[in-house]
Amino acid sequence: MNREVRPGPVRRTRPLPLPATASLDEAGRVFDRALNALAARMTLGLSPAALRAAWADWASHLAAAPGKQAELARKALSKTTRLRDYALPGGASDRCIAPLPQDRRFDAEGWSKPPFDLIHQAFLLQQQWWWNATTGVRGVTRQHEQVVAFAARQMLDVFSPANFVPTNPEVLERARETGGMNFVQGARNWLEDAGRALTGQAVPRPEGFEVGRDVAASPGKVVYRNRLIELIQYAPTTETARPEPILITPAWIMKYYILDLSPGNSLVRYLVGRGFTVFIISWLNPGAEDRDLGMDDYLREGQMAALQAATAITGAERVHACGYCLGGTLLTIAAAAMARDGDDRLASLTLLAAQSDFTEAGELTLFIDESQVSFLEDMMWEQGYLDTWQMAGAFQLLRSNDLIWSRMTREYLMGERARPSDLMAWNADATRLPYRMHSEYLRWLFLEDRLAEGHYKVDGAAVALSDIRTPVFAVGTETDHVAPWRSVYKAHLLFDAEVTFALTNGGHNAGVVSEPGHPGRHYRLRTTAAHDPYHDPEAWLAAAPRHEGSWWTAWAEWLARRSGEPVPPPGLGAPGWGYPALEDAPGLYVVAP
């Protein structure tokens, strides 16, 4: 059944009312959840109880480890001596310590001159000492060690010398050049941002990035719509097309057009230009009334409904299925269920920065334990969904020195706004997650790892990833904080299939949006047959040849080798099969509030 797009903004709702016959115990539980929800909104969803438990585990074991304490004392003395030698005239000429490769805060020339060289070196040595202090304490659980190290890093990032006017040479130089007007402009920037935060206004979309005109602009038609998705079929640009269409499942924590940005870096446009018929799912941005949508709904009314439509419209017997991030996880669940049931409609499986095993899912797992999940559940239960700012806060914390403090320094101290780009405009166009789905996702996949361990059920029966024998093309990105590439690499262990693995430079988004001609792009690629001996990630990294350029070209060639000979492209939609062309792409759901 078609569903109309809501015309107005979604407002937070009050907790569900208790029935008249509710007991005092039930009322107490509701009160507890409401209280936790209030606290969660103040802490960006971080559970104080989880943080306290991690700190207590670390502190108690450190207190009972005099050997570790002595080691830390020796390291503190050694670092102090190194800093003294560096500071003395005629002392050491080389830096005491170099920043981590991803830390760009101290790259400017001013940081190499006195006294700023000494200031930032002292900070980096302190940062290194705290990493030594929070790791390697015998007896501390791995989860708690990671949480404590993460929390220490967050606190240190707050007090970085790059964040303060007197200790930042770039800010002081800008003040000299502008006569202090950078602080005036920075104050204006802060007032604008504070006003939007207090009134709940969204960040305005920068000019030149209008959805449907500048981004998400590839021509096509919406050929199917239900209460959860719109399915877009793109118009062909070649005289012939491969008989097997490509069906792309993006994550519903993002708008689909990350894969159809500007014409020059649109993956959709690239595939269509290479002679493929492309479909993509555009997910509904849910509100409070969608609180009970679950993972089964996303599988049935999202992935499987789109697959049925794509095969009916094209008449194809098989489809190249591609999933990005959480969309790739959903696609993997669907592929396992299809393999279990003897459904062979998948010609290939492509997973872009997508995980199936969540035991090593990077720093996101810091937010996943029983205390943390319960805390998040109470927050979502109260409002019906996980809001965009709540989800964005967690992702920003993973790279706080880049996404929080460096941005604040640039905008409020330097007085500069970042130059808008299509990727930035897309990143600000966030989506919500329904209460039930997000709770199931956190518990079933992150907390219990049901999919990798064979406990995930579809239609009442468990699915096994080892049933998947369809050729797999998996993409990991080198600096991914959301789906670390070594976690994505576990496709080699999970599937009983040929796996072609590509490792590209960049992060979770920039590594995937890696069009041909983009400067500085490279990737590694290697294929492992279904029954070849296993190589761990480091052995694979050493053996896989490096290629300059975009992994898109290698993927398109991989798809072509697994496709039939080109034929005339299908029409847009199939009214006779119940799939009329409803309207022009990008459709309604992508622009709904």
Write out the catalytic residue numbers. Answer: 325
Give the CA angle between residues 558, 563, 564 to the nearest 5°: 150
Q: Mind giving me the DSSP string for 280-330?
A: EEEE----GGGTT--HHHIIIIIIIHHHHHHHHHH--S-EEEEEETHHHHH
Residue type, 116: F
Output the six-digit token pair for 507. 């992060």
Write the CB contacts of 223 (distance below 8 Å, at least 6 apart in sequence). 231, 232, 233, 279, 309, 313, 572, 573, 574, 579, 580, 581, 582
Output the six-digit token pair for 242. 């491969």
Measuring CA to CA, which residue among 362, 323, 336 is closest to residue 446? 362
Write the CB contacts of 264 (distance below 8 Å, at least 6 apart in sequence). 515
Contact yes or no for 235/280 (Cβ under 8 A): no
Q: How many residues does the chain have?
A: 593
Compute the distance between CA of residue 56 and CA of residue 307 in angstroms, rounded to an integer: 50
Output the CA torsion 572→573→574→578 (10° steps). Answer: -170
Q: What are phi and psi of 583, to 5 degrees?
A: -170, 175
Q: Sheet of 229-234: strands edge to edge?
A: 546-548, 522-528, 499-504, 472-477, 346-352, 319-324, 246-249, 278-283, 229-234, 220-225, 583-584
